Copies of this chain bind each other. A is one copy, B any other.
């Protein structure tokens, strides 16, 4: 009975095909200007076909959101090689900013847009990707505590605080709310602020 397996394979292939087209369009022209019909055009299938593989647009963008988390985790993976735990946390911050600036649409999908979270909600599942990356941050902080860099023991609260700062910084930038600075100064200001924040956590966490 290899037929069922082949059909399952073909189904996965089709899901990939759709996802690849969706990603392409999404990344090159943004979420708002990407329609199911556009995606259907690219893969040369009818729009209705997409609904045989993804329940709705939210599910489709949830799948992309998962991919995005995979990419972020990949970019943070080589972090374990850094010995000093504080340096590691700082490098984690650098890469988080880099990821957000280089992949604004993916960042939006991961941490701002409703669509993926709505997809989760109506299947009432937990936000595993979020949990996992938040876990990584907590781990990095725990290591700093163990190494004696941080005294504060409530790692969860420390993690929220650090993540809030990081998310705020990049999303103010991504959503064009840094227009009080010249365009060419914005990234510089972010760097300056990041340096200040690292000093803050080093001295008081």
Q: A112-B112, A167-B171, A180-B134 are in contact. Are A192 and B127 (CB under 8 A)?
A: no
Q: A134-B180, A200-B200 are in contact. Are A164 and B165 (CB under 8 A)?
A: yes
Q: A127-B180, A168-B165, A199-B204 are in contact. Are A160 and B189 (CB under 8 A)?
A: yes
A1 within 8 Å of B by Cβ?
no
The copy count of this chain in the complex is 2
A197 within 8 Å of B by Cβ?
yes
Would you call A156 and B117 a contact (CB within 8 A)?
no
Say how far A91's CB is from chain B's closest CB, in angstroms: 19
- Contact among B117, B196, B204 for A161, CB-based, below 8 A: B196
A residues 160-205 in Cβ contact with B at 8 Å: 160-161, 163-169, 171-172, 175-177, 179-180, 189-190, 192-193, 196-197, 199-201, 203-205
Please tell me the number of chain A residues within 8 Å of chain B, measured between CB atoms.
43
Would you call B163 and A168 a contact (CB within 8 A)?
yes
**A177–B164 Cα gap in the complex (Å)?**
11
Interface SS of chain A: helix, strand, loop or mixed? helix
Chain B residues whose C-beta falls within 8 Å of the C-beta of A127 in the assembled complex: 177, 179-180
Chain B residues whose C-beta falls within 8 Å of the C-beta of A114 in the assembled complex: 175-176
Would you call B157 and A196 a contact (CB within 8 A)?
yes
Would you call B180 and A130 a contact (CB within 8 A)?
yes
**A165–B161 Cα gap in the complex (Å)?**
7
A111 within 8 Å of B by Cβ?
yes
- Contact among B111, B161, B163 for A197, CB-based, below 8 A: B161
A126 within 8 Å of B by Cβ?
yes
Q: A168's closest neighbor in chain B, by CB? A: B168
**A113–B171 Cα gap in the complex (Å)?**
11
- Contact among B157, B196, B199, B205 for A192, CB-based, below 8 A: B157
